[in-house]
C-alpha cells in the first residue's frame, strides 16, 4: 500500500488516478481541508505539516501562511466540514514560541490528524482488559494526560480537565470491582463511554480519538517517553528530539492498513 514514490502511506489505497489530488502529496485528499482565504484544498495532514514547516523557518511564530499553490496569505485552515459545522485551525497560535508547547506536544497533536493504524495489537489493548490490568494505578497517567490535553486543546492550563478525567477513571476502578459479572468487553466499552462523556465538553470532536489514545497509553504500560518511541516508530516518523537514540536505518516501517478503533474481540468472552 506504499506508493512507489514514497508518498503518504496512511492514505487509503483507493483511486490511483484521482482527478483532484492533494497538491502537496499528489495523492487522493484525506480529510478535506481548505485555506480560509483562497480556498485551495489539501489533506489536513499535508497542509498542517506545510504550515509547521513554514513556521519552523520563522524566528517567531507566523500569523499567516502562504498557500503553496497561489501564495495567498491565509490565517487558518478549515477542516472537518460535515455539512453543518467545521473546525478551524489558526496559524497565529504562536506555538513555536510558547514555552509549554514542546516538540512532544506537537507530535501528539499531529497524531490526531492521522490514522494511527493498528497500534492496539502492538500495545496489547486486549490483554490489558482481559487480564484486568486496568485495576492497577498508572503512575505516569497524570503527566501523560496533562501533555495530551495540552496538545489537543493547545492550551497550557488544563489542570481542571486532567483532574476531572483522573476522577472519572478512579471512580470507574472503584465501581468496576462491584460488577464482576459484567464481561470484559462491556467493561471496556463502559470505560470508553465514561471517559468520552467526561472529555466531550472540552475536546468535542476529538473525544472519541482521545479515548482511544488513552486506552493505548494505559494498555502499553509504558512510561511516556517509551510510549512515544513506540508510537513514533510505528508511524515511521522521524522526530530527533523524541527518538534520538533510536535513529535507525532508512528501513521502511511496516504499515498496517488503517483500521483504527475496531477491536477484534475474542470469541470466548472470558471473565477469569
User: By the criterion CB under 5 A, which residues form the site for Zn ion?
Assistant: 22, 24-25, 38, 40, 43, 46, 67, 69-70, 72
Nearer to Zn ion, 43 or 203 (CB): 43
- For the chain, what percentages of helix, strand and coil (3-state, to nearest 5) are there? 45, 5, 45
Cα(162)–Cα(164) distance, integer angstroms: 5
- Considering the complex, state which of residue 9 and residue 43 has its C-beta at the smaller distance from Zn ion: 43
Instruction: Report residue 115 as a C-alpha cell.
Output: 490514522
As measured in angstroms, the least distance from the Cβ of 74 to Zn ion is 7
Instruction: Give the H/E segment covering residue 89.
Output: strand 87-90
Cβ closer to Zn ion: 74 or 243? Answer: 74
**Min separation Cβ 217 and Zn ion, Å:** 28
Q: How far is the CB of 22 from Zn ion (least distance, A)?
A: 3
CA-CA distance, 165 to 5, in Å (whole number)? 43
Which ranges constitute the DSSP H helices of the chain?
A: 44-56, 103-111, 119-122, 125-130, 141-153, 159-176, 184-203, 207-220, 224-235, 240-243
Q: In sequence order, what are the residues at sequence separation of 6 or more whose Cβ sits closer than 8 angstroms to the Cβ of residue 18? A: 27, 28, 29
Nearest distance, CB of residue 13 and Zn ion, angstroms = 15
> Quick one: 39 or 86, whose CB is closer to Zn ion?
39
- Please, what is the minimum distance in Å from the beta carbon of residue 67 to Zn ion? 3
Closer residue to Zn ion in complex, CB, 66/164: 66
User: Between the CA of residue 101 and those of 79, 154, 157, 227, 244, what are the distances in Å?
Assistant: 22, 8, 11, 19, 19
Closest contact distance (angstroms) between CB of 117 and Zn ion is 17
Q: Which is nearer to Zn ion, 41 or 233 (CB)?
A: 41
Nearer of residues 50 and 101 to Zn ion, judged by Cβ: 50
Rounded CA separation 217/148 (Å): 11
The nearest distance, CB 127 to Zn ion, in angstroms, is 36
Angle in degrees, 0-180, between the axes of helices 103-111 and 44-56, rounded to the nearest 10? 170
Amino acid at each position: 500500500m506504499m506508493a512507489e514514490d514514497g508518498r503518504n502511506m496512511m492514505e487509503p489505497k483507493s483511486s490511483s488516478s484521482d482527478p483532484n489530488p492533494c497538491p502537496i502529496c499528489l495523492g487522493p485528499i484525506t480529510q478535506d481541508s481548505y485555506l480560509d482565504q483562497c480556498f485551495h484544498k489539501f489533506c489536513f495532514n499535508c497542509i498542517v505539516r506545510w504550515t509547521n514547516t513554514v513556521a519552523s523557518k520563522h524566528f517567531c511564530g507566523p500569523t499567516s501562511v502562504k498557500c503553496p499553490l497561489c501564495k495567498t496569505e491565509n490565517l487558518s485552515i478549515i477542516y472537518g466540514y460535515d455539512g453543518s459545522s467545521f473546525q478551524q485551525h489558526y496559524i497565529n497560535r504562536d506555538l513555536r514560541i510558547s514555552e509549554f508547547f514542546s516538540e512532544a506536544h506537537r507530535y501528539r497533536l499531529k497524531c490526531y490528524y492521522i490514522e494511527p493504524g493498528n497500534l492496539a495489537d502492538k500495545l496489547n489493548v486486549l490483554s490489558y482488559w482481559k487480564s484486568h490490568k486496568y485495576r492497577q494505578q498508572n503512575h505516569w497517567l497524570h503527566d501523560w494526560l496533562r501533555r495530551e490535553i495540552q496538545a489537543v486543546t493547545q492550551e497550557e492550563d488544563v489542570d481542571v480537565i486532567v483532574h476531572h478525567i483522573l476522577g472519572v477513571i478512579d471512580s470507574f476502578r472503584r465501581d468496576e470491582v462491584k460488577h464482576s459479572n459484567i464481561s470484559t468487553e462491556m467493561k471496556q466499552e463502559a470505560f470508553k463511554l465514561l471517559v468520552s462523556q467526561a472529555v466531550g465538553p472540552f475536546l468535542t470532536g476529538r473525544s472519541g480519538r482521545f479515548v482511544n489514545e488513552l486506552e493505548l497509553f494505559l494498555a502499553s504500560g509504558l512510561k511516556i517517553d517509551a510510549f512515544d518511541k513506540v508510537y513514533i516508530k510505528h508511524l515511521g516518523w522521524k522526530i530527533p528530539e523524541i527518538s534520538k537514540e533510536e535513529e535507525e536505518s532508512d528501513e521502511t516501517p511496516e504499515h498496517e492498513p488503517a483500521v483504527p478503533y475496531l477491536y477484534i474481540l475474542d470469541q470466548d468472552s472470558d471473565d477469569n
